[in-house]
Chain A
Amino acid sequence: MKIIVCMKQVPAAATASIDPLTKTIVRTGRNAVTNPFDLYALQTALDIKEGVGGTLTAITMGIPAAQKVLRDAISRGADDGAILSDRAFAGADTLATSYAISLGIEKLGGADLVVCGKMAVDGDTAQIGPELAQHLGISHVSDVTEILEMAEDHLVVRRVWDDIDQELYLPLPALITVAKGVNLPKLPTIPGMLRGRVAEIPTFTAEDLGADIARCGLKGSPTQVVRTFTPPVRGEAQEIEGNETQQAAKLAQIIREVLHGED
């Protein structure tokens, strides 16, 4: 099985400290780490690779220094990694990011399974996984809490939201995003660390990927951040039943209700 896991470099919030004089965050340059949720994705991918066999590639998009997360992934057991790095990708929202990553995955020859963390701790959007699946034209299941069965051509996964407990049969190729409790990520070994350090990490630019520049970076990002705030405590999850059309209609109704208070 060919598995690709998506990784992101994020600031290490725990190490952030405030300068007593300027009252700003002290940025030492040492405080960038692998997105903690991605470690669960990586471990899921490693477990599936161990169970079914195959290859595991880690992919990321970011500044050249972000390849550190790929070396981290290799030190933890990934076979190799690839970084998408280009000024054209800068300022990308989730749509532009997932577009670029989808091209990166295609450049790598595609995948039977793509694994993402539930979300990144800096943006908290949880959108990359589903959007990436859409770009790739494959099925996806988000927030997987357990891998119940693994085989060359399918997975059976479980996800639990509030009082909703689902077991889903997922034919491959597909994408999953995994929740925090799905496993306990293992630590790197010394040989893993040494492998990660010397691994050749290919860099793909927008041109290498044949990307439509209008869909990359800031240009390709319809999202505008108006303000940031702590959202109120969310209500319980709802399960939407029916066929795709019925589900979409119900979802649209819920969004209208939230946005406009319509009934």
Chain B
Amino acid sequence: MDLIRKLVSADEEYLRDESKKVGFAETISFPENHEQVREIMAQLYKDGTSVTVQGSRTGLASAAVPFGGHILNTSRMDKVLGMREKDGHFYITVQPGVILQKLNKAIAARAFDTSAWDEASQAAFEAFGKAPVQMFTPDPTESTAAIGGMVACNASGAKSYHYGATRGHIQALRGVLANGESICIKRGEIFAKGLDLALTTEEGNTINVKLPTYKMPNCKNASGYYCAPDMDAIDLMIGSDGTLAVLTEIEISLLPVPALSWGVSTFFEAESQAAKYTKLAKQIANGIVAIEYFDACALDILRKQKAENTAFAGLPFLPESYGCAVYTELHCDNEDQAYELLESLSKYCTQAGGNPEMTWVATSDSDRDMLHFFRHAVPESVNMQVERTKRTYPEVTKVGGDLAVPDEYFEELLKIYDTTLEEEGLLHAAWGHIGDNHIHVNILPRDMDEYSRGKALLAKWAGEVSRMGGAVSAEHGVGKLKAPFLEVMYGKEHISEMAALKAVFDPKCMLGRGNLFAPQEEVKA
């Protein structure tokens, strides 16, 4: 079959993703549409070949790293297929390989190739041109993520604090099951009865699913299957890490761009002040769409980068008294609301022991770009640092946490991070979504010993977070790297329930082998 071909040395890049892990595979395909995916899956099903689905391989949990068998790469499924308008709301159907950054640009510029769209889509596009400018709100740090990958891991980002993760912005999905049958699920059409869910394929076959009985954490979560009594069927597919179906068409929902978008970075001398400020800022009901944190180590890394690397010379000057930072993003209907929010943040800053003069407010594109550069320079700098270590110790990778807990446990978790990192003496930097009690603590190993100790510490934290009723992965997805943690989080019995659910969709256990369920063999570092 032409669509499937042997993997050759030039395909080496498809054996890895941003987690820097390297897998193995025998064949690869680059389908361009649903029908080709069906064809490929039907063939692979016959042979019982396992399949790893790839988007743009920006994931951090190794979900796109193949574990033998076939790589189904969706990068050529990069078309925007159509548009729909209902009650003034706009929905766009895309193929899974569409890149977020390109999609956002097209939405902002209202520029799509509509030549192949049907009449209804053309009409919706005409209305779209006259409507207020729209946006797709999920904003993972890696803007080159593919929409399919974002759905597979239920990606989120800074603005998910207000707008929620990808899940809430997915209206319909079409995909291909392991056996090559097609499935289409539209939000609001198919619901579970209690924990029993029945789905019908486009070929007319029914799939009866028994949903797992675990209770999902009461916090941001991208760990394991989404399961709840009477749930919408579409939510099961979102965040399933490529283990239930190959997504081929995704309908996303858009929202109007707010009249004003301002960014406010507030600096504090101490972490405790930042935590208190965040707690106070979270009391604001409307207008704050993101609350992000950067710890002292992250700011030190930026100072060093600015001094040593000309590519980072444009970073704003950070006085030594600026110990850590909380970034808030405001989306407002008018300036009155925005200034009221500034006044509140100023008050909360003072109450938390900070100084409102130690703030940066960005209201223009250039100033917002500056803050964007600042925020994104942190992970970039950390990755550069790890890459330097990798030259001496090739097996070393960044050891990054993606843990979140319910409100009542967040301060306890922060203390655990501080205490254990100090005990271990590991170089680290922490940043992320403090508004969602979700900080990425990244350990930067300088040798193999620190790498091992870092991994052990991450496992320890996963245990603590599970005890608190939190999530071992809040936004990256479980993939292969966090699969052992999922068992810690939900326990063996619930993992068995998940496996039983998967078996209904994928009886030969072909899809996303090693994802969610701990693989039998370790993926090579």
Contacts and interface: CB of A to CB of B under 8 A. Distances in A.
Interface of A: 12, 14-15, 17-21, 26, 28, 30, 33-34, 36, 39, 72, 75, 184, 186-194, 197
Given A17-B133, A20-B110, A21-B129, A190 B365 contact: no
Given A189-B361, A193-B361, 20 more contacts: A12-B365, A14-B365, A14-B366, A18-B110, A19-B129, A20-B128, A20-B129, A30-B259, A30-B260, A33-B365, A33-B366, A72-B364, A184-B316, A188-B367, A190-B342, A190-B349, A190-B356, A190-B361, A191-B356, A193-B339
Contact of A187 (B339, B357, B365, B370): B370
Contacts of B108: 17
Given A14-B365, A17-B110, A190 B264 contact: yes
B247 to A, nearest CB: 28
Nearest to B339: A197
A190 B330 CA distance: 13
9 contacts: A12-B365, A20-B125, A21-B130, A186-B360, A187-B362, A188-B361, A190-B349, A190-B356, A194-B339
A39 B363 CA distance: 14
A15 B314 CA distance: 22
Given A33-B366, A190-B346, A21 B126 contact: yes
A33 B126 CA distance: 30
A139 B381 CA distance: 45
A256 B446 CA distance: 66
Contacts of A14: 365-366
Contacts of B316: 184, 186-187
Interface string B304-347: 00000000001011000000000000000000000100110110
Interface of B: 108-111, 125-126, 128-130, 133, 259-260, 264, 266, 314, 316-317, 339, 342-343, 345-346, 349, 356-367, 370-371
A54 to B, nearest CB: 20
A191 B357 contact: yes
A12 B364 contact: yes
Contacts of B362: 187
A191 B364 CA distance: 17
Nearest to A198: B339
A143 B345 CA distance: 39
A75 B361 contact: yes
Contacts of B349: 190
Contacts of A17: 108-110, 133
Given A15-B365, A17-B110, A17-B133, A184 B357 contact: no
A47 to B, nearest CB: 12
B357 A189 contact: yes
Contacts of A30: 259-260
**What are the 3 A-B residue pairs with the smallest beta carbon separation, nearest first?**
A187-B360, A20-B129, A190-B359
Contacts of A12: 364-365
Nearest to B357: A189
A36 B366 contact: yes
Taking each of B133, B266, B345, which has the highest tally of chain A beta carbons within 10 Å of its own beta carbon?
B133
Contacts of A34: 364
A76 B365 CA distance: 16
Nearest to B374: A187
Contacts of A194: 339, 342-343, 346
A28 B133 contact: yes
Contacts of A186: 316-317, 360
Contacts of B128: 20
Nearest to B314: A184
Contacts of A72: 363-364
A188 B342 contact: no
A30 to B, nearest CB: 7
A181 B248 CA distance: 48
A17 B112 CA distance: 13
B358 to A, nearest CB: 8
Contacts of A28: 133
Nearest to A18: B109
B129 A187 contact: no
A40 to B, nearest CB: 11
Contacts of A39: 366
Contact of B111 (A20, A75, A188, A190): A20
A150 to B, nearest CB: 19
B339 A189 contact: no
A72 B367 CA distance: 12
A22 to B, nearest CB: 9
Given A18-B109, A21-B129, A189 B360 contact: yes
B110 to A, nearest CB: 5
Contacts of A191: 346, 356-357, 359
A120 B128 CA distance: 34
Nearest to B365: A14
Given A191-B356, A194-B343, A18 B111 contact: yes
A7 B66 CA distance: 57
A187 B361 contact: yes
Nearest to B349: A190
Contacts of B111: 18, 20
B129 A33 contact: no
A78 to B, nearest CB: 15
A20 B108 CA distance: 11
Given A189-B356, A193-B339, A194-B346, A33 B259 contact: no
Nearest to B317: A184
Taking each of A14, A30, A184, A193, which has the highest tally of chain B beta carbons within 10 Å of its own beta carbon?
A193
Nearest to B369: A14
A21 B122 CA distance: 12
Nearest to A12: B365
A39 B365 CA distance: 13
Nearest to B358: A189
A187 B366 CA distance: 10
Contacts of B346: 190-191, 194
B316 to A, nearest CB: 7
A20 B122 CA distance: 12
Contacts of A189: 356-361
A219 to B, nearest CB: 34
Contacts of B264: 190
Contacts of A20: 110-111, 125, 128-129
A197 B363 CA distance: 13
